[in-house]
Amino acid sequence: MGIKRDLLLNTAAIAPNWWSSRLQNPVFIVGCARSGTTILSEWFHHHYDVANLSEANDIWDPSGYPWASSSYGKDSPPIWIDPEAYTARWWRDNERRQTKTRAIFGVYQTVKRAKVFVNKTPLNTFRIPQLLKTFPEARFVHLVRDGRAVTQSYAKKQRHDMNKDVEVYRALGYDYPFEELALKLAAYWQRTIDEVTLREQQFNLTAKGQMLEIKYDDLCSQTDATLEKLCQYMGIQKDRFKPEAQQIQMKDQDYKWRTELSPEIIAATQQLQANGLKRWGYV
């Protein structure tokens, strides 16, 4: 992050309302985990006019993240099992902290002397109504990746993470074998697509200039054009990326699902994701 966490939190606590007012032009990158949000966030980490604070789950949900070792996160299932229950638990525990959260972001942006604040947190995909209460001027970037590729990547990563706290997951009945886990994550991808569609329509976000949806494969194959579109949306210049940004390598790995998922899992995944895959042109 470049700024000591304790200093950031303590500074925000001194005058939270004032620091909250300092936050300008917040942009939140949302989308299903394993959709390329991390590498998109990395691009803007290397932009002179952006204060990029990636993830920040310890700020968004200090008592509920990480789920397996948290104090209160386990009061609900993991988000990929029940996103509504998970989000309700998050809001219950953190509604009163929203001014503080905004203040922390305001401190960070002020220290960075940046025009735009960017935060990438896939968990925020199901928090758009709450975020609009705290950040009414917020803009959202929704990054979409082929759901079959997300399923393969997410299941592999989630299984690895679950193994670190396997007894916790086992005790609560969430220690699924890979095949069952993959199908739950396949269904979750579709739910994220449906959720963003619902909120975009509910709040008329695109028409108001508060939602931009892009595809991961476009970010990989048409990087310059996609970054130009993103920069225009954020109100910053594409020629203001730092030299370090040129070291970022865009590799479209969406082919892996074809060989790493069984034919049976692929067929079931495509059935679970039929609407989203069709809408985004993947089938």
- On whether the CB atoms of residues 108 and 45 are closer than 8 A, the answer is no
What is the arithmetic mean of pLDDT over 92-112?
98
pLDDT digits (tens, 9 = 90+) for 69-86: 999 999 999 999 999 999
Question: For the domain 5-279, what is the CATH superfamily, name and number?
Answer: P-loop containing nucleotide triphosphate hydrolases (3.40.50.300)
User: pLDDT tens digits for 153-207?
Assistant: 999 999 999 999 999 999 999 999 999 999 999 999 999 999 999 999 999 999 9
The Cα-based distances of 95 to 14, 74, 261 in angstroms read 19, 18, 40
Q: How far apart are CA 83 and CA 192, in angstroms?
A: 9
**Model confidence pLDDT, tens digit, residues 240-261:** 999 999 999 998 889 999 999 9
Enter the tokens of residue 280.
């985004």
Mean pLDDT of 99-126: 98
The answer to whether 65 and 58 have CB atoms below 8 angstroms apart is yes
Residue-wise pLDDT tens digits, 204-221: 999 999 999 999 999 999
The predicted model gives 35-55 an average pLDDT of 97
Q: What's the Cα-to-Cα distance from 168 to each of 64, 74, 160, 210, rounded to whole Å?
A: 14, 9, 14, 39
pLDDT attached to residue 4: 87
Return the closest-CA partner of residue 212 out of 235, 198, 195, 233: 233
Q: What is the pLDDT of residue 252?
A: 87
- Report the pLDDT value the prediction gives residue 3, as an integer from 0 to 100: 81
**Whether pLDDT at 123 is above 70:** yes
Give the number of C-alpha atoms closer than 13 A to the C-alpha of residue 183, restricted to the C-beta side.
Answer: 12
- The pLDDT > 70 percentage for the chain reads 99
pLDDT band (50, 70, 90) for residue 1: low
Question: Would you say residue 2 has pLDDT above 70?
Answer: no
Whether 104 and 16 have beta carbons less than 8 Å apart is answered as no
Answer whether residue 53 shows pLDDT above 60.
Answer: yes
Task: Name the average pLDDT for the chain.
Answer: 97
Instruction: Give the residue among 28, 31, 48 at the shortest CA–CA distance from 101.
Output: 28
